[in-house]
Structure 1
Amino acid sequence: MTAPFPIRKECPPGACICERERLLQDIDADLRVLQLTLQEEKRLVERLENLVDLADLERMQARLHAQLGITLRIAPSLNEVRSMRGIGIVVDEQSGLCRKTRQAIPAAIRRSLEQRPEIAYAILNGNDLLRDA
């Protein structure tokens, strides 16, 4: 089966568990995630590293889900949040989504949160963690 758009090249054998080939063989599969080529992934990571505010982050979450079907969840951990590592950033597993991409997206968001801590504070405040501060 061929897709009507350029798709991501396959990962080296044994390096990834993205199940790209199985996804391409499934007639009813959602192939949107395969549109994320290496060049597009670099643009996405750069965009995520340069977030402006919480609204911008939420727009990116919505766009990732709408355009690629990627579900991104961001929430403070159940324990104390002492650093940016205390904010949980999870990209749900999905067929066709490369392991490296699942790691690159949260890393880019963490770098953005470190550059603009007000976004992290807004996430914490949105979850009512700073109500007494």
Structure 2
Amino acid sequence: MTNQPPLRHPCPPGACDCGREQLLDGPAEGRRILLLTREEEKRLVERLENLKDLDDLHHLQGRLYQNLGIRVHIAPGYNEVRTMRGIVIELEALPGLCRKTRQAIPAAIRRGLERNPQVAYRLLDAHDLLGGA
């Protein structure tokens, strides 16, 4: 008798294009994204909103990929970066990743950058946009 970890509940029909059903029929390796339940998603969003520094952000990016297979790319936009909206936050396409989660993770990171602008400045400096100023 094995204990299965709780899986994310299905989205209402027609409300999401996550492909949860195909993952349930496939191999167990692809199902790790389904371990992100709504409660765990709330904890993740709270953690992303309370970023401490740039290293913390990179650590969270690594943990998201390691535990759930979610790749998050964060970089300055192509034009000027005047607000946090100028920072591009993208999630790679991943089967099983709910539409709401695909929107919630970048929004939480953006809120975390707004709460702690030093992280955003370090991010911009890491991409050499401040030119060592």
Q: Which residue of 1 aligns with 2:39?
A: 39
- Contact kept, 8 Å, 1:18 with 1:96, in 2: the verdict is yes
- Contact kept, 8 Å, 1:48 with 1:108, in 2: the verdict is yes
Total equivalences in the alignment? 131
Residues 110-121 of structure 1: pairs in structure 2 closer than 5 A: 110-121=110-121
Return the TM-score normalized by structure 2.
0.94
Q: Which residue of 2 aligns with 1:52?
A: 52
Aligned residues: percent identity? 59
> What's the CA shift for 1:107?
0.4
Deviations 1:41-71 (A, max 9, x none): 0000000000100000000000000000000
Return the TM-score normalized by structure 1.
0.94
- Contact kept, 8 Å, 2:125 with 2:132, in 1: the verdict is no
> CA separation in 2, counterparts of 1:67 and 1:4?
16
> CA separation in 2, counterparts of 1:111 and 1:83?
11
> What's the CA shift for 1:77?
0.7
> What's the CA shift for 1:93?
1.5
Q: Which moved more, 1:121-130 or 1:28-37?
A: 28-37
Give the residue type in structure 2 aligned to 1:82. Answer: R
- Secondary structure, aligned partner of 2:90: strand
- Contact kept, 8 Å, 1:49 with 1:111, in 2: the verdict is yes
Runs of 4+ in 1 over 4 A off after TM superposition: none
Deviations 1:70-115 (A, max 9, x none): 0000000111111100000111121010010010000001111111
- Contact kept, 8 Å, 2:23 with 2:31, in 1: the verdict is yes
Residues 1-133 of structure 1: pairs in structure 2 closer than 5 A: 4-27=4-27, 29-131=29-131, 133=133
Instruction: Name structure 2 gaps, 5 residues minimum.
Output: none
> CA separation in 2, counterparts of 1:34 and 1:108?
20
> CA separation in 2, counterparts of 1:57 and 1:34?
23
Q: Which moved more, 1:68-77 or 1:28-37?
A: 28-37
- Secondary structure, aligned partner of 2:124: helix
Give the residue type in structure 2 aligned to 1:98. Answer: C
> CA separation in 1, counterparts of 2:28 and 2:5?
16
- Contact kept, 8 Å, 2:76 with 2:88, in 1: the verdict is yes
- Secondary structure, aligned partner of 1:17: coil
Instruction: Name structure 1 gaps, 5 residues minimum.
Output: none
RMSD: 1.3
